[in-house]
Structure 1
Amino acid sequence: MSDPKRNKIVVERFMELVDHGGDLSELDTLCAPDFVNHAMAPGRPNGVSAHANS
């Protein structure tokens, strides 16, 4: 499977399970350890743990 196809599957799972479904247990599976949420306000904590607490 090509990277763009794989990336699309990961993003779709993230949106379905985490953003829409609230299943935060999937964050570690779907996000890289150095995940950065570029939509987070400047100066706010970032990363997987910050996303779980937002």
Structure 2
Amino acid sequence: MQHLIRTDDFTIDEIEEILADAKTFSDGRFDRILQDKLIITLFFENSTRTKSSFEIA
């Protein structure tokens, strides 16, 4: 998948594919897909918005 910058960057077919994937994931078949996985978010710049978002979460 490409980087998501703007929704205008996607074709209608790509948006429909993303929505179809989301519907598939929402039924719970992939609940354990990230089990035993480690996910890291790395930021190279300070951001008040990012800091606030993580504190609220």
Decide: shared fold, TM above 0.5: no
TM-score using structure 2 length: 0.32
TM-score using structure 1 length: 0.33
Name the one with the larger helix percent.
Answer: 1
Which structure has more RCO (C-alpha within 8 Å, separation ≥ 6)?
Answer: 1
